[in-house]
Amino acid sequence: MRAFGFDLDHTLAIDNGLERVAFLRLLEVLLSEGGRTIGTLRDEIDSIDALLARQRQGEYSIDEAVRRFAAGHGVAPAERHVAAFRRTAVTMVDEFLVPLPGVKPVLDALREREIAVAVLSNGWNPLQARKAQRAGFHGPVLVSSEIGERKPAARAFEALLQRLGTPAQLTWFVGDDPHADVAGAQAAGLRGVWLDWERKVYPPELKPPDRTIRGLDELLALLPEPERVP
Ligand SMILES: [Mg+2]
């Protein structure tokens, strides 16, 4: 192997619903500007989760989600709302983000072996870049909002390979999502590693992963011995 790509959310770290809370903060701003609620707090949370789910499916951008949110609360969408949401979300990373166990030793081991590493995430920067940094990763963070392609599209993985400078067959991709991460990587010619720390069932209709690991530390056993200078 010559390179590793990693998914970010639920692979290197969890963010504990950071964007949901950023929307609730924005709701406070909208209400102070004369906006109206759509129901109970429960209704607001359900509506935010639905809005984010559609955004994560690639239906619209995060900026468009903010504009829809403002309009849905009776406030004319403005750039200041988008800017406020983005700033709030990025600022929350330090408090909300929790790296998954094993991240640091794996990243250290990859660095020691001079194996190229990059993150490929369906998301937006600077949020994902800040999350990766907080998880201890300081390399390239490719996001769908910038490359214009979302996993599992082969073009997303091609962008990753281009950034890593490695051929597909020598590149491993690690992620928690069977469809977006593992099947997507395999279809693009990479080796797909499924990180199953949440103990799920792999979709039977998919080709099995090249490897399944229950924790990132299991990656260490797959790595070659580091070269020692004689
Ligand atoms: Mg993920």
Q: 9, 174 in Cβ contact below 8 A?
A: no
Q: Which residues contact 130 (CB under 8 A, 6 or more apart)?
A: 90, 93
pLDDT in tens, the chain (230 residues): 799 999 999 999 999 999 999 999 999 999 999 999 999 999 999 999 999 999 999 999 999 999 999 999 999 999 999 999 999 999 999 999 999 999 999 999 999 999 999 999 999 999 999 999 999 999 999 999 999 999 999 999 999 999 999 999 999 999 999 999 999 999 999 999 999 999 999 999 999 999 999 999 999 999 988 876 65
Distance 177 CA to ligand 1 centre (A): 6
Distance 12 CA to ligand 1 centre (A): 8
Ligand 1 centroid distance, CA of 7 (Å): 6
Domain boundaries, the chain: 3-15+98-222, 18-96
- Topology adopted by domain 3-15+98-222: Rossmann fold (3.40.50)
d(CA 220, ligand 1 centre) in Å: 20
Give the DSSP letter string of 58-115.
TSS-HHHHHHHHHHHTT----HHHHHHHHHHHHHHHHHH-EEPTTHHHHHHHHHHTT-
The rounded Å distance from CA 166 to ligand 1 centre is 23
Report the predicted TM-score, pTM, of the whole model to 2 decimal places. Answer: 0.94
**Residue 181 alpha carbon to ligand 1 centre in Å:** 8
